[in-house]
A and B are shown apart, each in its own frame.
Chain A
Amino acid sequence: MSGRAQPLIIGAGPAGIRAAEALVEAGLRPLVVDEAPACGGQIYRQRLVPDERSSVALYGSEAPKAERLHRDFAALAGKLDYWPQALLWNLRDGKADIAVGGASRQVAYDGLVLATGATDRVLPIPGWTLPGVFTLGGAQIALKAQGCAIGSRVVFVGSGPLLYLVAWQYMKAGVSVAAVLDTAPFSAKFNLLRGLALEPAVILRGMRMTAELRLKGVALRYGVRDVRIEGEERVGGIAWREDIREMHLACDGVGYGLALRPETQLADLAGCRFRFDARDRAWLPECDAAGRTSVPGVYLAGDGAGIAGADAAELAGERAGLALRQDRGLPHAPERAAAIERSLARIGRFRDVLELAFPFPAHWARDMADETLVCRCEEISAGEIRRAAAHFGTGEINRLKAVSRIGMGRCQGRICGSAAAELLAAETGRSVDAVGRLRSQAPIKPIPLTMALAQPQAEAAE
């Protein structure tokens, strides 16, 4: 294998770890780069230090999977290179710029597996920048990784399986959960029955959690609209509408999210072709069932390729690893690969069911008041976006960015990009795919001006 550079894996969550395992198994020595201090990704994130809580208290029914994943990655030590707390901030022509230990290293790679995961999808609502409002994922991290509740009386709002999961975890941890507000109508939940045949355990677990929430007296509301978070300096309450009824609750913490969105910036910088996915209502990098993208040698695995959950991420990571092996002429376990693809297809059908049960609130863009902030970073309101689109006659998302600054702030449009596209589509009377895709730019996250370019070191041989 001498002469070829290392394969590079971005992300040490379920997908990245299983990909690494598949490569090591074939005698390759990948470099695994991850932003977190310890492996596990978001779902199986580890605490900075141990505490009094058991693994089951932390990961619930998924504790065995979390433990196995952490253990399996630890077992790979010595057979791969692992850079935690490292940020891949730029990709170009088979070279990666990685910020690690205060310097930037340029790493040539041969084979790239992007296992970049997902973040919460949110649509801006009034008051969403107030202290005390966190994404559902953020609320979960506070609880699991940091042992903190985001309030003493918390409301969870939005949609998606995570809404109920996080609410249930807070309730189990002894935090007062004032309500769960689902933007999807109750009738949509009947779709879940169709998921029973595909993923019975998941459906039953969800039903049990919902029942336990109800039993504990947590108000479960469906079909909520016009959600507003109230407060001056921090969250004081939440208001919403059900049909024509105005509702209100006092609370001091809000967890908010509308399912998840993949992190795709690196696939974009790698030059991957994108397609619009109607189910996820998002532009996703194209890939085949094995994770091969339009760029030879670049593979996708896990939620970064389209939301499918942690179990699918483990499978997809392994599958991408096998594909890389095959493309290098190494043994690639075709039967195992075929079995994985069948499992992934089944999970894909299950995702279709979930999307029906937790549909995207497509009316949001029309309902949005002009004064609501859409871009948290640059503080651009819905009205400013609408005015910019009208004044400049802009109907394309990158042009909207140019004239409105939407997506130009520190987060580079991660948080507001899909909302801006929804607004622009509504303003111009077109479908959301017709306004185009926000192009990614390096650096994908902020980097210090003083960051030095580390001198190239001898490439690790495989």
Chain B
Amino acid sequence: MPLLHRIARRDHEAIAFTLDGHACQGRAGDTVLTAILAQAEKLRFSEFSASPRAGFCQMGACQDCWVVLESGERLRACSTALGAGMRIATKGRAA
């Protein structure tokens, strides 16, 4: 079950992205964090204990929501707007 539950903006324009290779849809106005957690339980795994993380402060302070695109590029999920065609990976640690 996803972590976040939408209570507004449900009918906004759909934005396609992929999460670990699976096709997903977010909504116009989503941050990357919202788009991922509206369908998944986590954003990433911690580097040291590999425990699941899903952000914390949502205001760009705690730095706990950095996700990686398949290209290797990093995004802070809470402060990046979802872009069409983003290919997001939640598995493993960045290299």
Let me know if chains A and B touch directly in the complex, using CB atoms closer than 8 Å.
yes
Q: Is A233 an interface residue (CB 8 A)?
A: yes
Q: What is the distance, in angstroms, from A368's C-beta to the closest C-beta of chain B?
A: 18
Are A47 and B41 closer than 8 Å at their CB atoms? Answer: no
Are B61 and A148 closer than 8 Å at their CB atoms? Answer: no
- Which of B6, B31, B56 has a CB less than 8 Å from the CB of A48? B31
Are B57 and A445 closer than 8 Å at their CB atoms? Answer: no
Give A151 to B28 CA distance when docked, in angstroms: 21
Give A252 to B1 CA distance when docked, in angstroms: 10
Tier of interface size on chain A: 35 or more
Are B74 and A448 closer than 8 Å at their CB atoms? Answer: yes
Chain A residues contacting B22 (CB-CB under 8 Å) are none
Are B57 and A49 closer than 8 Å at their CB atoms? Answer: no
Chain A residues contacting B52 (CB-CB under 8 Å) are 130-131, 233-234
By beta carbon, the residue of chain B nearest A409 is B63
Give A233 to B50 CA distance when docked, in angstroms: 11
Q: Is A446 an interface residue (CB 8 A)?
A: yes
| Known contacts A42-B59, A129-B51, A234 near B7 by CB under 8 Å | no
Q: Is A433 an interface residue (CB 8 A)?
A: no
Give A173 to B31 CA distance when docked, in angstroms: 20
Give A48 to B31 CA distance when docked, in angstroms: 8
Q: Is B14 an interface residue (CB 8 A)?
A: no
| Known contacts A132-B3, A135-B56, A148 near B34 by CB under 8 Å | yes
Q: Is A29 an interface residue (CB 8 A)?
A: no
Give A141 to B29 CA distance when docked, in angstroms: 13
Are A148 and B81 closer than 8 Å at their CB atoms? Answer: no
Are A35 and B5 closer than 8 Å at their CB atoms? Answer: no
Are A446 and B54 closer than 8 Å at their CB atoms? Answer: no
Q: How many A-B residue pairs have CB under 8 A?
A: 144
Chain B residues contacting A150 (CB-CB under 8 Å) are 3-4
Give A253 to B41 CA distance when docked, in angstroms: 11
Task: Produce 1/0 per residue, A28-49, CB < 8 A to B.
Answer: 0000000111000010000111
Q: Is A263 an interface residue (CB 8 A)?
A: yes
Task: Produce 1/0 per residue, A432-462, CB < 8 A to B.
Answer: 0000000000000110100000000000000
Q: What is the distance, in angstroms, from A360's C-beta to the closest C-beta of chain B?
A: 19
| Known contacts A131-B42, A233-B42, A376 near B8 by CB under 8 Å | no
Are B8 and A51 closer than 8 Å at their CB atoms? Answer: yes
Q: What is the distance, in angstroms, from A153's C-beta to the closest C-beta of chain B?
A: 10
Q: Is A152 an interface residue (CB 8 A)?
A: yes
| Known contacts A37-B81, A410-B63, A148 near B57 by CB under 8 Å | no
- The residue in B31, B51, B56, B78 that gathers the most chain A C-beta atoms within 10 A of its C-beta is B56
| Known contacts A148-B6, A148-B34, A48 near B29 by CB under 8 Å | yes
Are B61 and A377 closer than 8 Å at their CB atoms? Answer: no
Give A131 to B34 CA distance when docked, in angstroms: 13
Chain B residues contacting A143 (CB-CB under 8 Å) are 7
Task: Produce 1/0 per residue, A326-342, CB < 8 A to B.
Answer: 00000000000000000
Q: Is A10 an interface residue (CB 8 A)?
A: no
Are B64 and A151 closer than 8 Å at their CB atoms? Answer: no
Are B81 and A138 closer than 8 Å at their CB atoms? Answer: no
Are B62 and A146 closer than 8 Å at their CB atoms? Answer: no
Q: What is the distance, in angstroms, from A94's C-beta to the closest C-beta of chain B?
A: 26
Q: What is the distance, in angstroms, from B65's C-beta to the closest C-beta of chain A?
A: 10
Q: What is the distance, in angstroms, from B81's C-beta to the closest C-beta of chain A?
A: 6
Q: Is A52 an interface residue (CB 8 A)?
A: yes
Give A149 to B3 CA distance when docked, in angstroms: 9
Q: What is the distance, in angstroms, from A67's C-beta to the closest C-beta of chain B?
A: 18
Are B7 and A446 closer than 8 Å at their CB atoms? Answer: no
Give A175 to B46 CA distance when docked, in angstroms: 30
- Residues of B1-31 at the interface with A, using a CB-CB cut-off of 8 Å, are 1, 3-9, 12, 28-31
A residues contacting B by CB (< 8 A) are: 35-37, 42, 47-49, 51-53, 119-120, 129-135, 137-139, 141-143, 146-152, 173-175, 233-234, 252-253, 263, 376-379, 409-411, 414-415, 445-446, 448
B residues contacting A by CB (< 8 A) are: 1, 3-9, 12, 28-31, 34, 37-38, 41-43, 46-49, 51-64, 66, 74, 76, 78-79, 81
A-B contact pairs, 30 of them (CB 8 A): A37-B81, A42-B59, A48-B30, A48-B31, A52-B9, A53-B8, A131-B43, A131-B54, A134-B56, A134-B57, A137-B58, A138-B57, A138-B58, A142-B4, A146-B4, A146-B31, A148-B5, A148-B7, A149-B4, A151-B5, A152-B5, A234-B54, A252-B1, A253-B3, A263-B61, A376-B56, A376-B64, A409-B63, A414-B62, A415-B56
